[in-house]
Chains A and B, each alone.
Chain A
Amino acid sequence: MTKSQKQNLDNVIRYTLLTVWLLIVLFPLFWIVATSFKPDKDWLAWPPVYWSEEPTMSNYNNVWGGAMEHAETQYAQSVQKPFTALRNSTIISFISTFLSVSFGAFIAYGVSRYKVLSETRMFQLLMLRMVPPIVLVGPLSLYYTTIGLIDSLTGLIAIYFITTLPYAVWMTKSFIDEVPIELEQAAEIMGANRWTIITEVVFPVIRSGLLATFLFILILTWSEYLVAFILSKTDAVTLPVELAKYEGSSEGRVYGRQAALSVGITIPLIIVGITIRKHLARGFSFGMIRK
């Protein structure tokens, strides 16, 4: 076999394998989009209906348009509040992420420049993220009930702030480490105090890194399920929790409506994630991978 033949064969194998995985990745995504446009009778048809012959917007109208004539039961109507969930998800994820990144960045600066946390302490900080939340949410819900934070946005913001802080500190530290110290020394000679150096020299230099950290943590909080599921009842329900409420009392899951809501929840995250794709490895590896 000549070299170019071998290369051709390589390419055929590569594209075949990659395309197989591509289809595996795309099929569930296609299915959920397709289902969101299907009328009731096509949800569970056999043989399966891949694309409905009578595509409909009724699922979207039902979830987002308040078209009550199609809602399954009176009960369902009273518990399904997609707009409240959307508002809650937005408020909770944006505020907790903002707090996490801003406090995290100041800690990270301290660690990077003054070692306010030793290396071992930095690794211990990861505990906040690595201990499975299930071991604490039970007692936490009792505690929240006692102090009146159960089913409140504040309660969820506080817990998300704590559990995403390790990501914020580690990720922003990896960006701050890359800022040349000479820049700060120059500013210091010109008489800038520490606050000015941080907010007007360091943070502006790493602003794209800060934005990437913010968006990365936003993805995590937006999609979090367990903690929100347990610490919310009616008022603080977030979108992932809201999704479970699309079950009719008689006919089980309401696939089309759930699909329509899922599409709405997921698309913003995919767009955000693709935008920061160059920083995802850094984020998920706590900044240990920097390329």
Chain B
Amino acid sequence: MARSEIMLQRTKRYKKMVLFPLIASIMLILGPALLLQLYLSFNYYSIYSEGWWASEWYALDIFSEVVFDSRFHIAIVRSLGFALASTVGCFVIGFGLALLMYKNFRLQWFYYIIFIIPMLTVPIVIAYTAEMILYQKGPLNGILSSIVGRDMLIMWITNPDIALLTVVLMEVWNWAPFSFIIMMAGLASLPKEPIEAAQILGASRLKIFYEIQLPLLRPIIVLALVLRFLEAMAEFPKTWAIFQGGPGTATETIPVLIYLNTWYYFDWSKAAAMSYIVMMMMVVIILTAIKILQKENKRIAQVQAN
């Protein structure tokens, strides 16, 4: 009894000690920023004000302006669309490659090393490199032209109908390796017995894939999709460095719109109100995602324990 009480006390002390830096840094750094964000959403601040503390009380005016701003609505839809499209793109390519590669073959290590490089490349470097490649008279159109046999001058960057697709392609190039490595790990951890048994019973490869491998992989697939989707919602460097929201408003995702409002229009309060709404929206999405992950994590642990 006494011993377990001492243990309990020690554990409490350890808990306080290790959590202190985490809680302190959140309260010192994130806390004030969150309060300031809330304050700016209700008080009008522009760079012409003396300082943020001298801004004028606007009550709910700023929020209502943002809530009815169609440009903001479109940015939300665009961000969700972008995140969805790039998540699916990354997954299809990553899973496809993993299926081609998970069984040992001679050059497996070589392909694996090359295939993970994009995800190790600095995103802003990808953005600037893509701009060099996608230039209207750049190498990608050059290669396409020589394949087709006539000049193909696709306006990857300046055509508003294509621009967002271009960002999706960059994101897929960058992050397909993420799905690839996760699905490789997933496929490697599958138990061999049920698959071999099905083979002996004469099941086709397609049938084995749909009825044995896919259900077993489900939790890992969910993990790959959810994590990628959340990261894609926050994507900034590739969208910003090439497009700055343009041409027109074709690539104006949520992060870009908030950035523009803060540092181009100097409408700090509007940006703060937008950020607040987006943050609430993201918290809801993340809590849902976390619930899903928490459930699937147990299954992943089960699969991996085999």
Interface residues of A (CB under 8 A from B): 11, 14, 17-18, 21-22, 24-29, 31-32, 35, 43-44, 46-48, 50, 103, 106-107, 109-110, 114, 116-117, 119-120, 123-124, 126-128, 130-136, 138-140, 142-143, 146, 158-159, 161-162, 165, 194, 219, 222-223, 225-226, 230, 239-240, 243-244, 253, 255, 258-259, 262, 265-266, 269-270, 272-274, 277, 280-281, 284-286, 288-291
Q: A139-B34, A265-B125 are in contact. List 12 more A-B contacts (CB 8 A).
A: A32-B132, A46-B137, A103-B18, A103-B22, A114-B15, A136-B34, A136-B279, A225-B123, A281-B182, A284-B182, A285-B227, A288-B293
- Quote the shortest CB–CB distance from A118 to chain B (angstroms): 11
CA distance A29 to B178 in the complex (A): 18
Which residues on the A side are within 8 Å of B132 (C-beta)?
Answer: 31-32, 35, 43, 255, 259
Contacts of A18 in B (CB 8 A): 97, 100-101, 111
B29 touches A158 (CB 8 A): yes
Are B185 and A291 closer than 8 Å at their CB atoms? yes
For residue A194, which residues in chain B have a CB less than 8 angstroms away from its CB? 10, 14
Contact among B15, B120, B126, B233 with A132 in the assembled complex (CB-CB below 8 Å): B233
| Residues of A with C-beta under 8 A to B249 | none
B37→A284 contact, CB < 8 A = no
A285/B133 in contact, CB under 8 A: no
Please tell me if the beta carbons of A139 and B124 are within 8 angstroms of each other in the complex.
Answer: no
Q: Contact partner of A240 among B37, B124, B278, CB < 8 A?
A: B124
Contact B32–A225 (Cβ < 8 Å): no
Return the chain A residue nearest B230 by Cβ: A130
- Contacts A132-B234, A222-B122, A281-B185 known; A138 to B272 CB distance under 8 Å? yes
Q: Which residue of A131, A244, A259, A277 has the most chain B CB atoms within 10 A of its CB atom?
A: A131
Main secondary structure, interface of B, reads helix
Q: With A44-B135, A116-B15 as known contacts, state yes or no: A130 contacts B121, CB within 8 Å.
A: no
Among the stretches B57-65, B157-165, B192-200, B283-291, the one at the interface with A is B283-291
Contact with A along B188-216 (1 / 0, CB 8 A): 11000000000000000000000000000
Check if A281 sits within 8 Å of B181, measured CB to CB: yes
Interchain nearest-CB distance for A143 vs B (Å)? 5
Q: What B residues does A21 contact at CB under 8 A?
A: 93, 97, 115
Interface check B77, CB cutoff 8 A:
no
* Residues of B that sit less than 8 Å from A by CB: 10-11, 14-15, 17-19, 21-22, 25-26, 28-30, 32-34, 36-37, 40, 52, 93, 96-97, 100-101, 105, 111-126, 128-133, 135, 137-139, 142, 145, 173, 178, 181-182, 184-186, 188-189, 220, 223, 227, 230, 233-234, 236-237, 241, 254-255, 258-259, 262-263, 268, 271-272, 275-276, 278-279, 282-283, 286, 289-290, 293-294, 297, 300-301, 304
Within the assembled complex, what's the spacing in Å between the Cα atoms of A139 and B45? 11
Interface SS of chain A: helix
- In the complex the two chains form, is B26's CB within 8 Å of A162's CB? yes
Name 30 A/B residue pairs within 8 A (Cβ), A-sorted.
A14-B105, A22-B111, A22-B114, A31-B132, A50-B139, A103-B22, A107-B18, A116-B14, A116-B18, A126-B286, A126-B290, A127-B283, A131-B286, A132-B282, A135-B258, A135-B276, A136-B33, A139-B33, A165-B22, A223-B122, A225-B237, A244-B124, A244-B241, A253-B128, A265-B125, A273-B116, A274-B116, A274-B120, A277-B112, A280-B181
Enumerate chain A residues within 8 angstroms of B123, measured Cβ to Cβ: 223, 225, 240
Asked whether A110 lies within 8 Å of B282 as measured between CB atoms, the reply is: no
- B234–chain A nearest beta-carbon distance, Å: 3
CB-defined contacts of B17 to chain A, threshold 8 Å:
106
Q: Are A31 and B129 in contact (CB under 8 A)?
A: yes
CB atoms of A17 and B254 under 8 A apart = no
CB distance from B99 to the nearest CB of A (A): 10
Contacts of A226 in B (CB 8 A): 236-237, 255
Q: Which residues of B contact A288 (CB under 8 A)?
A: 223, 293, 297, 300-301
Contact of A158 with B14 in the complex, beta carbons under 8 Å: no
Query: Assuming the A-B contacts A31-B133, A280-B181, are A270 and B289 also in contact, with contact meaning beta carbons closer than 8 angstroms in the complex?
Result: no
* Residue of A whose beta carbon sits closest to that of B37: A139
Cβ–Cβ contact B182 & A285, under 8 A: yes
Which chain A residues lie closer than 8 Å to B254 at the CB level?
132, 134
Contact across chains for A46 and B52 when beta carbons are under 8 A apart: no
User: Which of A31, A143, A280 is within 8 Å of B33, CB to CB?
Assistant: A143
Bound together, the chains give a CA A120 to CA B290 distance in angstroms of 9
**Looking across the interface, which residue of chain A has its beta carbon closest to that of B275?**
A135
When C-beta atoms are compared, the residue in chain B nearest to A136 turns out to be: B33
Asked if residues B97 and A131 are in contact (CB atoms below 8 Å), the reply is no
- The interface residues of chain B lying within 8 Å CB-to-CB of A22 are 111, 114-115
Q: How far is the CB of B265 from chain A (nearest CB, A)?
A: 12
Q: Could you say which residues of chain A place their CB within 8 Å of the CB of B133?
A: 27-28, 31
- Considering the complex, give the chain A residue whose CB is closest to the CB of B126: A28
What 5 A-B pairs are tightest by C-beta distance, nearest first? A132-B234, A273-B120, A46-B137, A116-B15, A139-B36
| Docked CA distance A126–B113 (Å) | 28
Q: Are B293 and A123 in contact (CB under 8 A)?
A: yes
Write the chain A residue with the least CB distance to B101.
Answer: A18
Given known A-B contacts A22-B111, A194-B10, A219-B120, A124 and B125 have beta carbons under 8 A apart: no
